[in-house]
Amino acid sequence: MHAKGQLEAEFAAIAEHWSPRVIATANGQYVKLAKVRGEFVWHSHADEDEFFLVQKGTFVLRFRDGSEVVLRAGEFFVVPRGVEHLPVAPEETWLLFVEPAATRHTGDVVTDRTRSVESQTAHLSGRADQG
Ligand code: NI
C-alpha cells in the first residue's frame, strides 16, 4: 500500500536501450522509464499525448515540419496526439515518460524496436525481469 519507489534503482534494472520499464500505474496511465541511445523510429499515437522528462543525457524529438525540441536533464515536453515524431538520443539518455496503458510503444509502426506491454510490465507481476 505504501511501497515507495526509487528512480536510480529502477534505472539500474534496465539493461536494454529503447525497452521501456513500467514503474507505476495511476489513473489508467503508465509511468515508464527507458534508457535510450541513437535513433528510434518515426511514429505517432493517434489518441494519446506523450509526456517526457529527461533524467540524464540529451533527448531530441524531431518533427516532420523539420523542427525539433532538444531536452536536457530536468526538461520535459508533451508530444501532442497525432503528431509524428522521431526520438533521437545522441548519447545514453534516461527518460521518464507517462502514457495511457493502451499506448503502443511505436504507435502504429511495428519494428524490431517494438516492445509489448507484457515485456514492459513483466517485473511488476513478479515474473523474471525481461529488461
Ligand atoms: Ni511516441
Q: How far is the CA of 45 from the centre of ligand 1 (A)?
A: 6
Ligand 1 center to 124 CA (angstroms) = 22
| CA separation for the pair 127, 130 (Å, rounded) | 9
Say how many Å lie between the CA of residue 104 and the centre of ligand 1.
8
**Cα of 44 from ligand 1 centre, angstroms:** 6
Distance 4 CA to ligand 1 centre (A): 27
Domain count, the chain: 1
Asked whether residue 2 is assigned to any structural domain, the reply reads no
pTM reported for the whole predicted model: 0.79
Do the domain assignments include residue 46? Answer: yes
Full pLDDT tens readout for the chain, 131 residues: 678 999 999 999 999 999 999 999 998 899 999 999 999 999 999 989 999 999 999 999 999 999 999 999 999 999 999 999 999 999 999 999 998 887 666 666 667 777 777 777 777 754 434 33
Q: Compute the chain's Rg from CA coordinates.
A: 14
> Residue 1: inside a domain, yes or no?
no
Domain around 56: 7-126
Kindly state whether residue 52 falls inside one of the protein's structural domains.
Answer: yes
| Position 100 in a domain | yes
Query: How far is the CA of 10 from the CAs of 14, 80, 87, 107, in angstroms?
Result: 7, 27, 22, 24
